[in-house]
Amino acid sequence: MTLTLDPENGILDPCPQITPRYLSDLKMMFKDQQVVDEILKEENRLIYEIRYYPFRTSKSDMALAVTRIFPGSIGGEYHMTKGHKHERDDQPEVYYCVKGEGFLLLDTLEGEFQAIPWRAGTITHIPPMWAHRVINTGTDLLVFIGVFHLSAGHDYEIVAQKGFSYRVYAVDGKPALIRQT
C-alpha cells in the first residue's frame, strides 16, 4: 500500500478516516476554563484534525496518522493535541514533524518530563509508557506523521486526570514552558 501526503497542508490520500478535534473535545485540557467557555459561546473552534490509515495485513498491523494543528492560542496557551498514553504498556511510536514549529511534550505522569523542540524534519521516538502531546507555537499549520501499531490504544483519561508537568504559553510573543504544580 502506498499513500501520498501533501506536506504543506497535511492532507493524506487515500484517507479512510478523518477525525476533527474541536475546542469542545479538548475543553478540559486548557488551563483557563473561563476563556474556554467565553470562546465556546461564540464558536466551537477547530483545533486540529487527524487523518488515519490502518495498514491491515494477516500477520502484522501498523497504522499511520497525519495530524495538522491550526495555529492559535486559548488564554495564552498554544493550540495542542489532547495528549494520551498508549493503552498497551509495550507500544512505542515514531513522530516525524513535516511542517511548522512547536514542541513535543513527553511525560511519564510520574515525575519524568521532556520538551522536545520541533521543526520540519525533526523525528522523535516516543518510548512505551510516555504520554505525548504536540504544541503548535508557530503562526502557520504544524503537520506531523505518527507511526504506531494498530493495537496500541489511547488512554486519554489518565492525561485528563494527572495533566502534563508543563504547559506552553505565548509570553511576549515567544513560547515559554510553565511548570504546573
Q: Which residue is nearest to ligand 6PG (CB)?
A: 65
Show contacts with ligand 6PG in window 83-142 (CB under 6 A): 83-84, 93, 132
**Binding-site size, ligand 6PG (CB under 6 A):** 14
Q: Distance between the two ends of the chain, CA-based, in angstroms?
A: 46
Which phi and psi angles does 154 have, rounded to 5°? -125, 125
User: Which residues, in sequence order, are bridge partners of residue 169?
Assistant: 77, 176
Measured CA to CA, the distance from residue 170 to residue 72 in angstroms comes to: 10
> What are the backbone angles phi and psi of residue 98, rounded to the nearest 5°?
-90, -35
- Return the C-alpha torsion angle 126, 128, 130, 131, nearest 10: 80
| Residue 28 CB neighbours (<10 A) | 13
Stretch that binds ligand 6PG, among 2-10, 38-46, 54-62, 77-85 (CB under 6 A): 77-85
Interface pattern 50-89 for Ni ion (x via CB under 5 A): ----------------------------------------
**Which residue minimizes CB distance to Ni ion?**
93
Please choose, out of 31-39, 98-106, 144-152, 164-172, the segment that lies near ligand 6PG by the rule CB under 6 A: 144-152
Q: Which of 81, 136, 137, 165 binds ligand 6PG (CB under 6 A)?
A: 81
User: Applying CB under 6 A, does 65 fall inside the site for ligand 6PG?
Assistant: yes
Per rule CB under 6 A, is residue 30 in the interface with ligand 6PG? no
Cβ(80)–Cβ(107) under 8 Å?
no
| Nearest alpha carbon to residue 83 among 180, 167, 174, 176 | 167
Q: Is 162 in the site for ligand 6PG (CB under 6 A)?
A: no
Rule CB under 5 A: say whether 93 interacts with Ni ion: yes
CA 75 from centroid of its chain's CA atoms: 18
* Contact positions vs ligand 6PG (CB under 6 A): 21, 50, 65, 67, 81-84, 93, 132, 146, 148, 152, 154
Q: Which residues bind Ni ion (CB under 5 A)?
A: 93
